[in-house]
Amino acid sequence: NAGVMQNPRHLVRRRGQEARLRCSPMKGHSHVYWYRQLPEEGLKFMVYLQKENIIDESGMPKERFSAEFPKEGPSILRIQQVVRGDSAAYFCASSSGGDEKLFFGSGTQLSVL
């Protein structure tokens, strides 16, 4: 039973480049959440998506960040024109809906040079 799959595990980008982070939820899960973890800080909610719908993006910066969860394929978190402050671990989680029990992937560590 495959868990939540994220790739890449590590991503290095130079300032101004684009970063694309992918997340495939657990089999049978249609709810996807993205969280960001900065050093010495707790995980911060970014966005909640269901297939083809953004349900809540209140935790996501209004500029440069976008997320999608298409009908087919993984969920994508896209960061345009990255800056050093975007360096963090980005975690994706999924659920079957109906309760708050989330299953997390292993994360993507984004480093901006």
Q: Which is nearer to other proteins, 16 or 97 (CB)?
A: 97
Among the listed residues 43, 49, 5, the one whose alpha carbon sits nearest the alpha carbon of residue 24: 5
Q: Is 93 in the site for other proteins (CB under 8 A)?
A: yes
Q: Is 94 in the site for other proteins (CB under 8 A)?
A: no
- Alpha carbon separation from 16 to 19, 64, 65 (Å, rounded): 10, 10, 13
Residue 54 dihedral angles phi and psi, to the nearest 5°:
-95, 115
Q: Is 87 in the site for other proteins (CB under 8 A)?
A: no
Summarize as ranges the residues that interact with other proteins (CB under 8 A): 4, 6, 31, 33, 35, 40-45, 48, 55-56, 59, 91, 93, 95, 99-107
